[in-house]
Amino acid sequence: MTKSPLIVFDLDGTLVDTAPDLVGALNFVLQREGLPLVPVASARTMIGAGARKLIERGLEIEGRAMSVADIDRLTVDFIAYYRDHIADASLPFDGLHASLDKLEEQGFRFAVCTNKLEGLSKLLLAKLEMTGRFAAICGADTFGVSKPDPTILRQTVAQAGGDMSRAIMVGDSGPDVGVARRAGIPVIGVTFGYTETPIAELKPDVVIGHMRELPGAVQSLLTAM
């Protein structure tokens, strides 16, 4: 029996606009250290590699160097604060639910593969009442590897009961394109996410500028598979 096609999504900057709450947590720890706050608009491209990297990038902006132990401490505090404020202002991107409804009607199933911690990912999606959409929600600590290591994508597809030959990745940045390429599946890039390098320059198979374009993009790739 042929398995249903599976669409695997990145989370931050792809499914959900999480920048306001992530930057809020960053500014909480920066302000406590006596450092200037980082504007949300300029910090959007710093998101996507996990909490620790976000803090390191925030410190780099101010030319501030800290010990590994201090960054460890800030990371713990960041995660604690973020957990309590994870969905204060974060929202699904416009058009997401309508597109998922349409794709579900067409027989597609969904999973999440993110470099966010699994527990935080599940908490966020629960707060947004989206958990039931996904057959698997896997993070950087689920399998002990992060994107672009293809193991995280392959294991996410397996956990969702999917087949790599009928899977498509959707993401907003280099790790998403990289993990799809290394795992040998097609990838759709979104232009509204968090990346320093414009997504088109990373050469995904298809680029979309709004979630309303997702069903058409998926169908075009499925036809070519």
Active site residue 10: yes
3-state SS track over the chain: CCCCCEEEECCECCCEECHHHHHHHHHHHHHHCCCCCCCHHHHHHHCCCCHHHHHHHHHHHCCCCCCHHHHHHHHHHHHHHHHHCCCCCCEECCCHHHHHHHHHHCCCEEEEECCCCHHHHHHHHHHCCCHHHCCCEECCCCCCCCCCCHHHHHHHHHHCCCCHHHEEEEECCHHHHHHHHHHCCCEEEECCCCCCCCHHHHCCCEEECCHHHHHHHHHHHHHHC
pTM of the model: 0.93
Q: Which residue in 10, 12, 17, 205 is the catalytic one? A: 10
Q: What is the pLDDT along the chain (225 residues), one digit of tens a residue?
A: 568 899 999 999 999 999 999 999 989 988 888 888 888 877 787 776 778 888 888 888 767 777 888 889 989 999 999 999 999 999 999 999 999 999 999 999 999 999 999 999 999 999 999 999 999 999 999 999 999 999 999 999 999 999 999 999 999 999 999 999 999 999 999 999 999 899 999 999 999 999 999 999 999 998 877
Which residue segments constitute the domains of the chain, with CATH numbers given? 6-17+90-224 (3.40.50.1000), 19-84 (1.10.150.240)
**Per-residue pLDDT, 1:** 56
